[in-house]
A and B are shown apart, each in its own frame.
Chain A
Amino acid sequence: MAAPIGNIKDRLFERATAIFAAIVLGLTLLLFALLLRESLPALKKFGFSFVTGTTWDPVAETFGALPFIYGTLVTSVIALLIAVPLSVGAAVFINEFAPPWLKGPVAFLAELLAAIPSVIYGLWGVFVLVPLLRDHFMKPVTKLFGWVPLFKGPVYGPSMLAAGVLLAIMVVPFILSVSREVMATVPQRQKEAVLSLGGTQWEMIRIVIGQHCIPGIFGATILGLGRAIGETMAVTMLIGNRPDILFSIFQPGYSMAAVIANEFTEATGDLYMSALVAVGLVLFLITFAVNIAARLILKQLLARASRGI
């Protein structure tokens, strides 16, 4: 007798959860549709040259987003170049060398970095990181290697390098935790195989990572890239906000997220607003693609792990 009521409750529950799922999916689609609709005027006017144009001049109503795409990519690449070796090294230490009593606290603190709001990172970056980099790294380096285009002066402080370094610190916890998980899946017998052949602990780690962890670390890197590309607040505070494409990483730049955050409130004209939304659309598409790539790589890796390879 209770069965029909149970059935109805089950059905209601199922419907309700289906609606929630549909809302989440719908929000994503709606967001995309809105971005597309609002950016249409700018995209229509500039066409493909919107992403290849290098001039961003609100007064003349000429909008080319390449400087922002460039700034986003350069800062993200700097971040990964620093964060990947750092995270992988830390993961090796925590998993293989740290005494058990140190393992937990170090891993916990490293992963706590992910919980700090990005505006705090930005403040720290402005007051600590930028002066530090300017006086103790950028200035000496320009003095010695200023002839290298990558390190050309003048040095101001806020720069693509500063933003990249800060981003590196922000993505470390993500790359670190995925790398640790990947390393923990390596079968003990693989490690023992290297040791039994007369391998050192370093050789064991090198071979085991090469044999088992490269795809996983690559996936972790892409995940970190996704974070770095979308990061707004901290980058806006450090990158210098100058819409030019400059080769030297000591020079200021501008990122896609930063230009939207900075100029949204002062975008008076319809075309200006539409151009900013179009930048958002480009950012959305890039992060979307990066995240899908990361998922695919990790999925493949897990499938392989479950086949016992």
Chain B
Amino acid sequence: MENMNNDVLKISGLSAWFGSNQVLRNIAMNIGRNTVTSIMGPSGCGKSTFIRCINRMHDLTPGFRLSGSLVYEGTDIYGERVDPVALRRKIGMVFQQPNPFPRMSIFENVAVGLKLNGMKMPKSELAGRVEKSLRMAALWNEAKDHLSRPGTSLSGGQQQRLCIARALAVEPGILLMDEPCSALDPVSTGKIEELIEDLGEKYTIVVVTHNMQQAARISDFVAFFLMGDLIELDRSAKIFTNPSDKRTEEYITGRFG
């Protein structure tokens, strides 16, 4: 099923620095189409830095630089002719903290990405896209009767699903999630995890987590990062039952981290 040419994202030799501090070392990894890949590891191992390289979120960070190659669907992400704005439409992102826009309604929050870059679409089409996105984010049933209420009137977990709907609305090819549950209670976390599993059928998802159980529950593949190195990348079942590297084994058996 995962034929080798069906990789959405190919990363090789990725190293990254903040000033003189190297945070990623020679990372190589391919991400297959319609898979969920968890980036797992202890705090400070470079997980977040890593996925923020994929949608060029570090572009505005002073002192950041990187080397190596990241290729998305045949396009070099850091290629000279690549417009980071156009690229980010293809590579969506959900953040640690739910971050809906406070003065926008639920509807407007989902629609906002569709109105960027001067894009316009008929009202009915817009409404359709908003509904579709909210359905995919499993928020439609809870939100359909009050789409005009502010996005911030929702609970934390609902806000995070709203942010997922907002990211899905622009129909990205990859969805990056940076510890999407770290600010949520267990019930909301469960819902988001379920959602990630469902979305994984049709979407390519890369999710950062420091929670091993979560990685085990939701992902097809798991990458284990330690101190800026990619230690091991394998099928989820393999990583958690029979890891190849001793350090992975030590981490999952709780000897550090």
Contacts and interface: CB of A to CB of B under 8 A. Distances in A.
Contact of B99 (A190, A201, A203): A190
A210 B88 CA distance: 22
B117 A203 contact: yes
Interface in B99-127: 99, 101-104, 112-113, 116-117
A193 B102 contact: no
B95 A210 contact: no
Contacts of A194: 112, 116
B104 A197 contact: no
Given A192-B57, A193-B163, A198 B99 contact: no
B129 interface: no
B103 A211 contact: yes
Contact of B116 (A197, A210, A211): A197
A199 to B, nearest CB: 5
B95 A192 contact: yes
Q: Size class of A's contact patch?
A: 20 to 34
B88 A198 contact: yes
A309 B152 CA distance: 8
A152 B99 CA distance: 52
A287 B167 CA distance: 47
A6 interface: no
Interface string A167-199: 000000000000000000001011011111111
Interface in B69-123: 85-90, 92-93, 95-97, 99, 101-104, 112-113, 116-117
Contacts of B102: 211-212, 309
Given A192-B57, A207-B112, A197 B101 contact: no
Contacts of B95: 189, 192-193, 196
Contact of B62 (A100, A189, A207, A309): A100
Contacts of A199: 85, 88, 113, 116-117
A200 interface: yes
B55 interface: yes
Contact of B93 (A196, A201, A207): A196
B103 A210 contact: yes
A198 B104 contact: no
Given A196-B95, A197-B166, A197-B167, 4 more contacts: A189-B97, A195-B60, A198-B117, A200-B85
Interface of B: 55, 57, 60, 62, 85-90, 92-93, 95-97, 99, 101-104, 112-113, 116-117, 152, 163, 166-167, 170
19 contacts: A189-B96, A189-B99, A190-B101, A193-B101, A193-B163, A196-B57, A196-B88, A196-B92, A197-B88, A197-B113, A197-B116, A197-B166, A198-B87, A198-B88, A198-B117, A198-B170, A200-B117, A207-B101, A211-B103
